[in-house]
Amino acid sequence: MRLTRGAGLAMLLRSFAVQASWNYRTLIGTGFCFVLLPVLRAVYGGGEQLKDAVRRHSGIFNSHPYLVGIAAGAVARLEAEGAEPELVERFKSAVRGSLGSLGDRLVWAGWRPVCALLGVAGALAGASWWLAVLLFLVLYNAGHLAIRVGAFQLGLRYGRNVAEQLRELPLDRVQRSLWHAGAFLVGVLAPLVAAGELLADRLPIAWVLAGALATAVGVRFGTAIRLPAAVVLVLGVVVAYALGGA
């Protein structure tokens, strides 16, 4: 049978809720079946066949939520073409790890932090609060929606051959560009934060130099610096209140 545009659109809309029942056993398995249901209903109608399809597709599955359309689109096409359940299961097993790590690298460690840093940069550069928030939301979601729609188109168009098509895309180059943009933005923001721009209140030079040193320490120790930084905040509270209004 041929997949209708309506079924594709229904799957796309449902994919926004793919992680609603995220859990440690089946990960997004139930959500994956939830996304596929419009197609499963169209293919199997009801009764035992639908029951069996629901059981098959509600097992363990994982993917980055924005890229789930690649797998869901391809599986929908396979189901519509009447592929053997074993083949569908093999396909799902083959893609589930790679779709997770690909999305993590591109979105969670790329697009999202870059957009967030741009939003913060906007706020620290003097833009009004709503403009900084809007900049982040509009920019981020332009990429977000493009990825979701593109993922479904890829999956539906190429079916089980989607992995080969993914390899053709310049994803490594995109990731490298995002990481350059992110590193650049961290650099831009570091002097602003060290100088006290978080509160729009320029600090005396000695404190700014301490902030510059703290940036260097952060660069050296990476994300492990979060806990020592929290200790600095605690010390800040203690000293600020110990000194009183002096």
Partner 1 sequence: MTGWILLALVGAMVAVDATSFPQVMISRPLVSGALGGLVFGRPLEGAVVGVILEVYHVGTLPIGAARHPEGGTAACAAAGGLAAAGLPAEAPVVLVTVLLALLWERVTGRSVDLGRRLNERIVQVWRPGPDPDRELERRHLAAAGVDGIRGLVVTVSGALATLLAVRLAAAWPAQSTVAAAALGIAGAAVLGGTLDVFGGWREKGRTFLLGVACGLILLAVA
Residue numbers 25-84 binding partner 1 by CB under 8 A: 25-27, 29-31, 33-34, 37, 40-41, 50-51, 54-55, 58, 62, 65-66
Span from 75-83, 121-129, 153-161, 162-170 in contact with partner 1 (CB under 8 A)? 121-129
Q: How far is the CB of 205 from partner 1 (least distance, A)?
A: 11
Which one of 4, 6, 23, 94 is in contact with partner 1 (CB under 8 A)? Answer: 23
Closest CA to 32 of 70, 1, 2: 70
Q: How far is the CB of 52 from partner 1 (least distance, A)?
A: 9
Question: Applying CB under 8 A, does 199 fall inside the site for partner 1?
Answer: yes
Which one of 9, 142, 149, 240 is in contact with partner 1 (CB under 8 A)? Answer: 240
Taking residue 226's Cβ as centre, other Cβ atoms within 10 Å add up to 11
Distance CA 151, CA 116 (A): 23
Distance CA 98, CA 103 (A): 8
Backbone angles phi, psi at 23, to 5 degrees: -150, 165
Tokens of 101: 């790590």
* HSE-CB for 156 with a 13 A CA cutoff: 18
Which of 2, 200 has the CB closer to partner 1? 200
Question: Applying CB under 8 A, does 117 fall inside the site for partner 1?
Answer: yes
